[in-house]
């Protein structure tokens, strides 16, 4: 189905394991979703203070239960993956079009960058949502470190 | 199912190797025409006034040729075993009044003709707009003295499909004014309200992005003229409300309950967005 978060168990598990190893105790210091401040479409400060890992980020980008960015976007680097969406723009060259601070803001809460009407979900927000399923209530789609990792991966997508 | 995915996957890889872009694979609804038993089924019609669309397309137009073919032949349509059950139940005496549906409604091909095309509609005694299923259950409990069928039971799906079949090919034409207006407006509001952790509305996918791929799925306009529908993913027939529930779960929202006022209202509104499309019950989808 649409945003198939149910499949790709292996990818999910691998990515989660990688994440546990990588983040260690850092998550305790992560900026809370409610404390994130996007100004003029920019979010300069890292959510964790720890550099993102582009390899873990790519797994999160592809994973259906994680970022599932491919539900809506294509990019050449992931062309081996089955099924790319066409709902959002192709992400090739995204890092040449946007500053890192803007890309972080887009991933954290695209509504504050593109406006309320955008279809792109905010991956690190929990407030202002309607009828969230109990399983996901009070949770963000990605963890702070996963956002930093995806950002590190998107930053590799240069012209 | 898995076979189909592999084939498609191969297609994508092959295209990638030829250097074509993915978006070239499938986009718009296809132009195939649906004929069943030599009868034309309208799967594309000019949108009525006030519609957000220029043209309305049945979900059939977005499916693969393979899936489309199954629906064009009642012997191959996997929904028909439940239609057969519905046919039997129509005649079957049940409940304390010693009656069957046929005791009051006689020949379904006459008495039920056109009914599905106007559902959901006002139920005089209940005093609310109700789905076909609720009209059926009212007859069972109040007129037959029989037990209500569960929403997603084989009996209810079979009966809904059998009654639906009597309107196949007729244009969807629900009433949305007068006493139905409140339900229509409530449904419209639900349609455009963003919900769930992914913060999306029905319109975000089915109005703004129909025709596009969302990962493995080819987005349709989310029309409901084919329900109840046999769906490969379910490996059985399912109701409109089950489909609504699935879409809500996919965006990590808390779905409404089948048969709830919310889903009945949403069903009425979505039906009104398909005005003029043929009833296809029972349709086949993936």
The stretch B128-148 carries a mean pLDDT of 98
Instruction: Among B198, B212, B246, select the one facing A121 at the smallest CB separation.
Output: B198
Q: Do A43 and A5 share a structural domain?
A: no
Q: Do A3 and A20 share a structural domain?
A: yes
Instruction: Among A4, A85, A119, select the one facing B213 at the smallest CB separation.
Output: A85
Q: Do A62 and A39 share a structural domain?
A: yes
Question: Which residue's entry shows tokens 């073919």?
Answer: B69
The total of structural domains in chain A comes to 2
Q: How far apart are CA B118 and CA B48, in angstroms?
A: 16
- Categorise residue B256: left if φ over 0, alpha if ψ from -120 to 50, beta otherwise: beta
Cβ distance of A129 and B197 shorter than 8 Å? yes
Model pLDDT for residues B68-89, shown as the tens digit of each residue: 999 999 999 999 999 999 999 9
Cβ distance of A121 and B199 shorter than 8 Å? yes
Q: Do A38 and A10 share a structural domain?
A: no
Q: How far apart are CA B176 and CA B171, in angstroms?
A: 15
Q: What's the ipTM?
A: 0.86
Residue A159 lies in a domain: no
Q: Choose the final residue of a domain: B165, B180, B204.
A: B165
Query: B76: which 2 tokens?
Result: 């191959």
Q: Given this model, what pLDDT does residue B27 score? A: 59
Q: Do A150 and A73 share a structural domain?
A: yes
Which string of DSSP letters, residue by residue, matches A78-131?
A: GTTSS----SS---TTHHHHS-HHHHHHHHHHTHHHH-TT--PPPSS--SS-SS
Q: Do B178 and B155 share a structural domain?
A: no
Q: What domain range is B136 assigned to?
A: 80-165
Cβ distance of A71 and B208 shorter than 8 Å? no
The total of structural domains in chain B comes to 2
Strand partners, B105: none
Q: How far apart are CA A95 and CA A151, in angstroms?
A: 9
Report the CATH number at residue B265: 1.10.760.10
Q: Choose the final residue of a domain: B107, B142, B165.
A: B165
Q: Do A97 and A24 share a structural domain?
A: no
pLDDT in tens, chain A (159 residues): 444 443 333 333 333 444 444 444 444 589 999 999 999 999 999 999 999 999 999 999 999 899 999 999 999 888 888 778 899 999 999 999 999 999 999 999 999 999 999 999 999 999 999 999 999 999 999 999 999 999 999 999 998
Q: Do A67 and A139 share a structural domain?
A: yes
Q: What domain range is A51 assigned to?
A: 31-154
């Amino acid at each position: 189905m649409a945003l198939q978060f149910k499949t790709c168990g292996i990818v999910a598990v691998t990515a989660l394991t990688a994440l546990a190893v990588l983040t260690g105790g850092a998550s305790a210091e992560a900026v809370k979703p409610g404390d994130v401040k996007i100004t003029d479409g920019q979010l300069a400060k890292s959510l964790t203070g720890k550099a993102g890992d582009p390899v873990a980020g790519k797994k999160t980008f592809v994973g259906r239960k994680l970022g599932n960015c491919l539900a809506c976007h294509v990019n050449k680097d992931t062309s081996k993956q089955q099924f790319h969406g066409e709902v959002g723009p192709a992400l090739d060259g995204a890092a040449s079009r946007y500053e890192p601070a803007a890309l972080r803001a887009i991933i954290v809460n695209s509504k504050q960058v593109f406006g309320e009407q955008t279809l792109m979900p905010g991956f690190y927000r929990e407030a202002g949502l309607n009828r969230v399923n109990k399983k996901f209530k009070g949770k963000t789609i990605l963890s702070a470190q996963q956002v930093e990792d995806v950002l590190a991966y998107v930053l590799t997508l240069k012209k | 199912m898995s076979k189909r995915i592999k084939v498609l996957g191969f297609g994508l890889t092959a295209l990638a190797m030829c250097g074509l872009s993915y978006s070239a694979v499938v986009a718009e609804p296809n132009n195939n025409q649906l004929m069943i038993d030599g009868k034309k089924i309208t799967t594309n019609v000019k949108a009525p006034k006030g519609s957000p669309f220029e043209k309305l397309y049945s979900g059939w137009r977005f499916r693969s040729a393979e899936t489309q073919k199954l629906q064009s032949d009642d012997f191959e349509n996997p929904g028909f075993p439940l239609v057969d059950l519905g046919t039997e139940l129509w005649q079957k005496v049940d409940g304390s009044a010693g009656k069957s549906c046929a005791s009051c409604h006689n020949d379904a091909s006459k008495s039920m003709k056109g009914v599905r095309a106007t559902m959901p509609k006002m139920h005089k005694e209940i005093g609310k707009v109700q789905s076909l299923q609720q009209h059926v259950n009212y007859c069972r409990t109040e007129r037959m003295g029989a037990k209500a069928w569960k929403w997603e039971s084989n009996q209810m799906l079979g009966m809904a499909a059998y009654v639906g079949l009597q309107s196949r090919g007729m244009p969807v034409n629900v009433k949305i004014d007068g006493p139905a207006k409140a339900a229509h407006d409530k449904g419209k509001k639900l349609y455009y309200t963003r919900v769930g952790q992914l913060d999306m509305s029905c319109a975000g996918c089915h109005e703004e992005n129909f025709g596009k791929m969302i990962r493995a799925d080819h987005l349709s306009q989310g029309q409901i003229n084919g329900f109840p529908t046999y769906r490969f993913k379910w490996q059985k027939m399912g109701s409109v409300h089950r489909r609504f529930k699935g879409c809500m779960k996919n965006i990590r929202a808390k779905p409404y309950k089948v048969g709830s006022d919310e889903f009945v209202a949403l069903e009425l509104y979505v039906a009104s967005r398909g005005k003029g499309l043929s009833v296809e019950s029972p349709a086949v989808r993936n």
